[in-house]
Each structure stands twice: as structure tokens, then as C-alpha cells.
């Protein structure tokens, strides 16, 4: 029985009077493609913040590969192999796509207290960066500055950044946010290729994508887990249906 890669144990976060995360408990075994869905205000953003380390919980714990990372700062979690992408693209806009990913690679290849040699020419950084770009279909756009890229390309770049850090677990925060149908399909194809190669925790609104990709799905409503299981079970679950009543199913864009 393999132990879970990520263990979320009664994680609770309150903002003043609002309980954004209510004793969330979830186990994710290695290699699983796990999706977290929920209506607006469900606490998905808070959950991402808690897992990434930008927000500290009042109660509960997060364990990654058996070690407690609950109080670990953001950069340490990345070092341990927990990568994340941002819901609103957060990139180095005055650098090229390649330079962006190369920085991510650099963070995980030795230390950066090197003050003399030109790192832009380091093959050990460029090659993996190019590979990561190729994986998300951006190989041709490597020399383009981020502030000249389209929205969809930036979302792809977000994924490439996460991949470049050779993660054990990738936390994807609404990668399809703001995408049209064609771009979304392309993203789904990219994600499908990653499935199985690494453990993925996907936060998404786009139901088509979620049901196409996920091994298991967890549903959050007002910060609480109301259901967790295989896609077929979730589809049939009464509580889930009720939570989504009035909510558009299918391609839910904000």
C-alpha cells in the first residue's frame, strides 16, 4: 500500500469571520490526476494558497512525502518538488519564454551564488528549458518576450515553468482560465500527456476538462469537502448536483 504523496489533514483557514477552508482532508497517492472543483467562493483559491505556502492555516497539517510542510516557506516547498502554476499568469514579463523557463530550471540545478560566468549560455539550463517549452508546444516561441505573447501562450508557459522545476507534484490553478475552446482543447491535450508521468492536483472550473482527465475528483463547497471519488461517482452524487444547481455545467468560464 503506497503512502500518499500529499496528505491534507483537517486543514482550516479563517479570515475574520469567514471560514475559507473547513477541516479539509484529502489524500493523494503518487501518480494520480486529482481534480478539485466547486462553485464560486468554494475556497479553491484559499486551498491553493495553503498548499503553496502563501497562506498559513489556523489548524490542520499538510504532509508531502511524509514530511510536514505546513509551516514551510514557499520556496522550500518548491525545492521539495511541489510546483504550482498561477491562476492569473505570474511571469517575468520583460524576459523571453526561454529565459523564464531557464530561471525555473536554474532554481533546481545547484546554487545560484555564481557571480561571473554568463548563465544565459549555460547548456545545462537551456536544454531542459527548451525541452519543457517543447512539452507544452511553445518551442517555436522561445525567443518571444512574455509581454508580447498571447493569453493562451502565457497559460502554456505557466505549465512549462512548473514542469521545469522537475516536480513530484504539480498544483495547477485554473490553467484554462480565460481560454477559448480551441486553446482549452490544446491545454487538455498537454495535460493528458503529463498524466501518469507525475502527480497532478488540478483546480478547475472547466467541467469537460475535469471529467476527461481526472482519476479522482473532490468537490468543495464553502470550504468543506462534500464529496470525493471517481468521476462517475461524483456525477451521480446528489449533494454535488444540489451544490451546482443553477450553476452552468460544461464549459464554465468566469
Partner 1 sequence: MTASFDPPLDHAPVSRLTGRTAFIALMLALLALLPVYTTLSGDAFVMTLFTRVLILAIGAVSLNLIMGYGGMVSFGHAAYLGIGGYAVGILAKEGIGSGFVQWPVAIAVSALYALVVGALSLRTRGVYFIMITLAFAQMIYYVAIGLERYGGDDGLTIYQRSGFSNLIDLNNKTVFYYLCFVLLLASIYLVSRLINSRFGLVIRGTRSNERRMRAIGFPTFRYKLICFVIAGALCGLAGALLANHTSFVSPALMHWTRSGDLIVMVVLGGLGSLFGPLIGTVAFLLLEEALSRVTEYPDLILGPVLLLVAIYLHGGIEGLLQWRRHD
Q: Which residues bind partner 1 (CB under 8 A)?
A: 52, 73-75, 78-79, 83-84, 86, 90-96, 99, 103-104, 106-108, 112-120, 122, 143, 161, 164-165
Q: How far is the CB of 46 from partner 1 (least distance, A)?
A: 17
Q: How far is the CB of 125 from partner 1 (least distance, A)?
A: 8
Single out the residue of 75, 76, 70, 77 nearest to residue 21, CA to CA: 70
Q: Can you tell me the distance from the alpha carbon of 135 to that of 132, in angstroms, rounded to the nearest whole number?
A: 5
- Per-residue cell: 139: 518551442
- In the bound state with partner 1, the residue whose beta carbon lies nearer, of 64 and 86, is 86
Q: How far is the CB of 181 from partner 1 (least distance, A)?
A: 28
Q: How far is the CB of 74 from partner 1 (least distance, A)?
A: 4
- In the bound state with partner 1, the residue whose beta carbon lies nearer, of 37 and 104, is 104
- In the bound state with partner 1, the residue whose beta carbon lies nearer, of 170 and 207, is 170
Please name the residues in contact with 161: beta carbons below 8 A apart, sequence gap of 6 or more: 83, 85, 91, 100, 101, 104, 132
- In the bound state with partner 1, the residue whose beta carbon lies nearer, of 51 and 188, is 51
- In the bound state with partner 1, the residue whose beta carbon lies nearer, of 52 and 226, is 52
Q: How far is the CB of 228 from partner 1 (least distance, A)?
A: 27
Residue 15, number of CB atoms within 10 A of its CB: 11
- In the bound state with partner 1, the residue whose beta carbon lies nearer, of 66 and 117, is 117
Q: How far is the CB of 112 from partner 1 (least distance, A)?
A: 4
Amino acid at each position: 500500500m503506497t503512502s500518499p504523496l500529499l496528505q491534507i489533514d483537517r486543514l482550516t483557514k479563517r479570515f475574520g469571520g469567514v471560514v475559507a477552508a473547513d477541516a479539509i482532508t484529502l489524500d493523494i497517492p503518487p501518480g494520480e490526476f486529482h481534480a478539485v472543483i466547486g462553485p464560486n467562493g468554494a475556497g479553491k483559491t484559499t486551498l491553493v494558497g495553503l498548499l503553496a505556502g502563501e497562506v498559513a492555516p489556523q489548524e490542520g497539517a499538510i504532509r508531502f512525502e511524509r514530511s510536514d510542510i505546513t509551516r514551510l516557506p514557499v520556496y522550500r516547498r518548491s525545492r521539495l518538488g511541489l510546483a504550482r502554476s498561477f491562476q492569473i499568469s505570474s511571469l517575468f514579463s520583460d524576459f523571453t519564454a526561454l529565459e523564464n523557463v531557464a530561471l525555473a530550471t536554474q532554481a533546481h540545478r545547484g546554487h545560484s551564488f555564481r557571480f561571473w560566468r554568463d548563465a544565459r549560455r549555460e547548456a545545462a539550463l537551456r536544454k531542459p528549458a527548451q525541452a519543457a517549452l517543447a512539452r507544452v508546444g511553445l518551442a517555436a516561441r522561445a525567443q518571444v518576450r512574455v509581454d508580447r505573447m498571447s493569453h493562451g501562450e502565457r497559460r502554456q508557459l505557466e505549465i512549462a515553468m512548473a514542469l521545469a522545476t522537475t516536480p513530484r507534484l504539480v498544483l495547477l490553478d485554473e490553467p484554462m482560465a480565460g481560454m477559448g475552446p480551441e486553446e482549452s482543447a490544446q491545454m487538455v491535450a498537454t495535460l493528458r500527456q503529463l498524466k501518469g508521468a507525475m502527480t497532478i492536483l488540478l483546480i478547475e472550473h472547466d467541467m469537460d476538462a475535469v471529467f476527461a482527465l481526472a482519476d479522482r475528483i473532490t468537490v468543495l463547497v464553502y470550504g468543506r469537502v462534500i464529496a470525493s471519488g471517481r468521476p462517475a461517482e461524483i456525477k451521480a452524487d446528489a449533494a454535488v448536483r444540489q451544490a451546482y444547481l443553477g450553476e452552468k455545467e460544461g464549459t464554465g468560464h468566469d
